[in-house]
Structure 1
């Protein structure tokens, strides 16, 4: 298993002594964040750039099949980054010969949708070598994501090249990692995988226009989808009118769902509120969480979710950090909050029956769980764990980082609550 230190990324900014660093301390970077890639989003529609990057010898492809990542089978499993020659049957070298405008004008619904490589960015951290990929002032290793699942329900002729690519990769001893949640990759690998998974999943779910119901086409290297105005399969009838072609919202963008997650401290800052879902393992608790609703601030969402799920009324809410969560497209916005008065600490599960239980835990019990009782949902706790004691999420979960931060804050003007 990858060591816990390798799983926690460093902040993706320059580490320097600044006014903000002195005031607020070190930035917390959570698992799936702090990607080593420069996304260069402004080049996603630059087809000469994409064409050059696509075929460069250094370019690497993150491959997913049914959203399962291709990995090397030697333990611990690590992503396998394919070369262009390994996926060429799916991605012709001429893919970017036409502009996006020409591709949309040439749309033909009789032609099966081609595999769409999604440009993820350049890894500029790799040592610069002779022959490295360069474009204007940018240099690094290009990364693309590619879905090798193949068209669902497609004809044998359409499925054949996908099967050919997959079988050739599996013949090399590679496999697609089957897991509901993948949280075992090293930090940099996890951030790249998260971006690839989220974008492939979004493209898979959005093959039809949400306004007119017609098929959409991937543009901007798979990071946007457009509704073509014409269809060569029916030049006389054309496609139905669609408002997405006449307004500023003429493209479909990847979805990100903001979700709040919060570590709640008691009024005296000596206890922390945790809840357990109905499917959690025995004694396994976590911080409370929920989706942000339309026209709702993050702070208001935190207060609402905690009251709805546990009946506790919060006072001050402070934002702590965030975590991309590509299952399928959440952004976990972490907060620390506190109750202002002991009278507001009473727990009730009568409002929203989402939780099986919610409890206040003493700081000492939480500290012990952080030492010996952390594990992923499907894993057993460590050998030092005492049966029946509190269990908590692993360090790769933002819940763990929030709990650690909450019990370490000097809220009462004295010594910090925790020695963790």
Structure 2
């Protein structure tokens, strides 16, 4: 069968009750980061300053959300001296309280995101019981008041012979670094999309090393030199109670492999943007007040007309395009609900029931990267499937492998 993605972390084999009943836990591409995020230290400015300044600390640069890379499989990191022209010597020297007191909406700071520590590297940064290589991400997209500084940083790193990885989806990275990139991309994209408050429309301030934005109550912008106090900003509903903050958005999305009532066929659909012969599992966003199981049944019915009974959650995948959490499930159609009808929702161009033999063959010779038909063994017009980097492939593979085990291990 199609080979699984190498280097994805899985829990060690054990004899626990849950593993005996449901199989080993599976990690998907973009998950399984090697970094300890140490999220509880994001408000500790002494920690952040120390980590930022350590000589072993690595900085991942993103330009228009594309990562700096040595090659399509490997990220490239730079050092503090490379980013200092943009970030300054210590972007974490002031606390959130100080930043709020000094807030000036006319002044722009780059987003410097703390990603975590690689604790496998025992010779790096050390803080209390934590030791390893600290990782930060910096948005160096040349825009706004800091465009020239960002441009100077990007030109300097390119002069060293490294560049930003082209393309819209970066699924060629090795699995551990893909997870690091996914975290950085998701967070920097969220910051870029939220420069203004959703409650009042005024400018927000990035804090907690890029993982939180607040709407300051005062502003020094436009005041003459020598002013003794900032001006009060307009009313904002986020400043009432304890909700003076905005945290990153994550959009839960279901994606499901639907098997027939007798378990012999698999329901797959295709949208108009898919390449020829390409089919995939069905997916859609969860709605407010809806469980995962309810969302699976609703989406499958809306898109294909098929009625689903039992739903089992298989695994999940962070998908940073821009901020999805793909919740993978396997569901079974009801005996009287297998008729396909595409008139409810115009999202799908086609949907079909495929036999397990057809799907098994496609896993062998019909799996390629997005938009690339690289297999020479696939017959003309035969089924094509998404790559192993997509959770859709892993769900399909699990069904053909007997639900608990992937077919790729056979």
The DSSP-based 3-state class of the residue aligned with 1:312 is coil
Structure 2 distance, partners of 1:7, 1:303, is 33
Aligned 8 A contact 2:387 2:393 in 1: yes
The match for 1:87 among 80, 83, 86 is 83
Q: Which residue of the partner structure matches residue 319 of structure 1?
A: 313
Aligned 8 A contact 2:9 2:27 in 1: yes
> Structure 1 residues 180, 7: closer, same or farther in 2, change over 3 A?
farther
Runs of 4+ in 1 over 4 A off after TM superposition: 3-8, 234-237, 416-420
Output the aligned Cα RMSD: 1.9
The match for 2:194 among 206, 224, 227 is 206
Shift of 1:419: 9.2
Structure 2 distance, partners of 1:71, 1:94, is 25
Q: Which residue of the partner structure matches residue 163 of structure 1?
A: 151
Structure 2 distance, partners of 1:9, 1:202, is 26
Aligned 8 A contact 2:30 2:179 in 1: yes
Shift of 1:382: 1.6
Unmatched segments (≥5 aa) in structure 1:
none
Shift of 1:189: 0.4
Structure 2 distance, partners of 1:345, 1:34, is 36
Aligned 8 A contact 2:4 2:388 in 1: no
The match for 1:386 among 366, 379, 386 is 379
TM-score (norm 2): 0.94
Q: Which residue of the partner structure matches residue 70 of structure 1?
A: 68
Aligned 8 A contact 1:260 1:292 in 2: yes
> Structure 1 residues 15, 38: closer, same or farther in 2, change over 3 A?
farther
The DSSP-based 3-state class of the residue aligned with 1:251 is coil
Shift of 1:162: 1.1
Structure 2 distance, partners of 1:134, 1:265, is 51
Aligned 8 A contact 2:111 2:188 in 1: no
The DSSP-based 3-state class of the residue aligned with 1:308 is helix
> Structure 1 residues 204, 236: closer, same or farther in 2, change over 3 A?
closer
Query: Is 1:219 matched with 2:207?
Result: yes
> Structure 1 residues 329, 27: closer, same or farther in 2, change over 3 A?
same
Count of equivalent residues: 402
Q: Which residue of the partner structure matches residue 403 of structure 1?
A: 396
Return 299-308 or 159-168, whichever deviates more.
159-168
Aligned 8 A contact 2:206 2:214 in 1: yes
* Equivalent residues in 2 for 1:57-136, closer than 5 Å: 57-73=55-71, 76-111=72-107, 113-126=108-121, 128-129=122-123, 132-136=124-128
Structure 2 distance, partners of 1:93, 1:355, is 52
Shift of 1:97: 1.9
Unmatched segments (≥5 aa) in structure 2:
224-228
Q: Which residue of the partner structure matches residue 373 of structure 1?
A: 366
The DSSP-based 3-state class of the residue aligned with 1:81 is coil
Structure 2 distance, partners of 1:28, 1:336, is 14
Structure 1 distance, partners of 2:32, 2:148, is 37
Shift of 1:418: 10
Q: Which residue of the partner structure matches residue 147 of structure 1?
A: 139
Deviations 1:307-365 (A, max 9, x none): 00000000000000000000000000000000121x21000000001000000000000
